[in-house]
Amino acid sequence: MTKFAFIFPGQGSQFIGMGKDLADAFPEAREVFDEVDAALGQKLSELMWSGEEDQLKLTANTQPALMAVSVAAMRALQSKGIEVQAAAFVAGHSLGEYSALAASGAISVADAARVLRIRGNAMQAAVPAGEGAMAALLGADPDQAIALCELAQAEGGVCEIANDNSPGQIVISGSKAAIEFAASKTGDVGIKKAMMLPVSAPFHCSMMQPAADAMMKALAGIDIKAPVTPLVANVSAAPTSDPAQIRRQLIEQVTGQVRWRESVEYMASQGIELFVEAGAGKVLTVMNRRTVKGVDGLTLGTPEDVESVAQRLS
């Protein structure tokens, strides 16, 4: 039997129409969207399937919407007899960590939707518009990225590693002036180039502290159970099933680095041969191939995917 992990994408994977074919094909998937709509008191599914893209791109909508698609895909797969606990691990990229926890029974879908709505609003409100920025460093290794951040911080302002996604793809986050300065100095530390990202706030850096405070309050009010299979957490790149630790790491995650490359390397070191990406798109599948040569990846986002993944895992 192939040893595998379920992984869940983060922001940027959304598109209008995502999850509609799953809802049409599987009553179990439809139920997830109904549950999210009820929890939010909003027809989020209508926005996802036939709304305006700029509305879906609002962080407060994107986060619960992507979680809904991921969990709906998992429920569809479960209807074929494949249970979450058949996987050795679950892991998610940033907001995808909430999808992983909802799929593995640690957090209810309704709580995940409500908490992600709070998270989206809090992250948006943490820094006034135009004061923060993010940039992707192309061809950078972690040491070069650290050197670049130190260079920018010496000039004043916040410049921190937000995401270590895969070899050669690191994202920095912080104050607009510091990130722009860093982007102009990539050559000084041997990095090919930096690309400014079209984001509305500087995610996963210390400027997000007000959002972390908001999440501390929001998460205090929800029940977190042990997931049915261990979660490899963003901030530690290590597995946990402890509810208290999960709660703490979800708060740390708001200002902390998403250690995705290390998470994938850890899972591969534990014998994972196949990553199944549940939800919209295939961003993680592409990144993981750069991280671990020869690793297998499948997407789980359409009814056809559900059939082929179920066949592969049966």
For the residues of 98-116, what is the DSSP string, one character each? HHHHHHTTSS-HHHHHHHH
Q: Is the dihedral of CA 253, 257, 258, 261 positive or negative?
A: negative
Closest to 148 measured CA to CA, from 196, 191, 177: 191
CATH 3.30.70.250 in the chain is located at: 132-199
The catalytic residue among 94, 173, 175, 263 is: 94
Residue spans in the chain of domains classed CATH 3.40.366.10: 4-126+207-313
- For residues 250 and 97, the answer to whether their CB atoms sit within 8 Å is yes
As given in the structure block, the two tokens for residue 309 are 């993944």
Strand ranges (E), 152-249: 159-166, 169-175, 193-196, 231-232, 239-240
- Tens place of pLDDT per residue across the chain (314 aa): 789 999 999 998 899 999 999 999 999 999 999 999 999 999 999 999 999 999 998 899 999 999 999 999 999 999 999 999 999 999 999 999 999 999 999 999 999 999 999 999 999 999 998 899 999 999 999 999 999 999 999 999 999 999 999 999 999 999 999 999 999 999 999 999 999 998 888 999 999 999 999 999 999 999 999 999 999 999 999 999 999 999 999 999 999 999 999 999 999 999 999 999 999 999 999 999 999 998 999 999 999 999 999 999 99
Does domain 4-126+207-313 sit in CATH 3.40.366.10? yes
99 is catalytic: no
In SS3 terms, 292-305 reads as CCCCEEEEECCHHH
Angle at 116 between CA 113 and CA 119, to 5 degrees: 155
263 is catalytic: no
pTM of the full structure: 0.96
Q: Which fold has domain 132-199?
A: Alpha-Beta Plaits (3.30.70)
Among candidate residues 45, 70, 204, 263, the one labeled active-site is 204
